[in-house]
Amino acid sequence: MIYFCKMQATGNDFIIINVMTQKFRYSYGNLAKFLCNRKYGIGADGVIFIEKSEVAQAKMRIFNSDGTEAGMCGNGIRCLAKYLYEEGIVNTDCFKIETISGIKDIQLSLENKTVSYIKVDMGNPIFEYNKIPVIFPNILEKSLQSLEVNCNDNEYIGYPISMGNPHFVIFENELDKIDLEKSGRIIENYKYFPHKTNVEFVKVISRNKIKMLVWERGVGRTLGCGTGSCAAAVVSILKEYTNNEVIVELEGGNVKIKYDVEENKVILSGTADRVFEGKIDI
């Protein structure tokens, strides 16, 4: 019997399982594939496993719906932060969560002991192609570089960037004309991306706002993506399309991104919600 909590942030939904308090003998990847199935399982974009950490209050392991492990998830870590506080696993509004992509600092806003807003220090964007990774000759540049891909007889110019996992940010004026299912799948698996990539189609609305469609690696179309929002905002700011603090409008809601260019540091802010709790017999 597995006990879980279902949560969501900007429509990106997750199953949270605390393996610190219950015996566990399952393969994380195989279990994630089953639990995320919306017909036969619980249904979600991914599963977050909470493990003990030697360097933070908890460790986050996140697996996509196809069973692959992700290094980081901005929406998922906000859900986890809310869960950790409201379950009494942490008792302070500032704490750290360990991830594969490093230790992330969390700051909570509270209302009557309930988490209303979460800020996450997402760390440093990575632009070097060999670290994202991207297979292309221009691998040593530490600044933002563009790359062209061919997709469905279209040529897209995008910007590879890592926010703990790889992203490819493409600017388009007419998002409603994007065939996200077809183009997203092709670009995710494009020859330049050895670990595949997340894909963001972005429209600049104003100096303070962008709109985004996202195709997530290992998941498909989702209503929101935290690291994708960070990636899109960073590129928008570096291209001087927007100011350094940006609202990202997603299909599932909005998040706020602040990027300190000099320190190369990104802060992601937004909400998260519990959906339901339960147990499932495997």
Show which residues are catalytic. Answer: 73, 225
Tokens of 258: 């602040």
Residue at token pair 């000759």:
137
Contacts of 232 (CB under 8 A, 6+ apart): 167, 169, 200, 202, 210, 212, 248
Please give the Cα distance from 184 to 217 (Å, whole number): 9
Please give the Cα distance from 209 to 108 (Å, whole number): 24
Contacts of 115 (CB under 8 A, 6+ apart): 81, 82, 85, 86, 108, 109, 272
Helices 226-238 and 74-86 meet at what angle, rounded to 10?
Answer: 130
Contact yes or no for 261/267 (Cβ under 8 A): no
Contact yes or no for 228/167 (Cβ under 8 A): yes
**Bridging pattern class, strands 253-260 and 245-250:** antiparallel
By the 10 Å C-beta count (0-12 exposed, 13-18 middle, 19+ buried), 150 is classed as exposed
**50: helix, strand or coil:** strand
Contact yes or no for 272/79 (Cβ under 8 A): yes
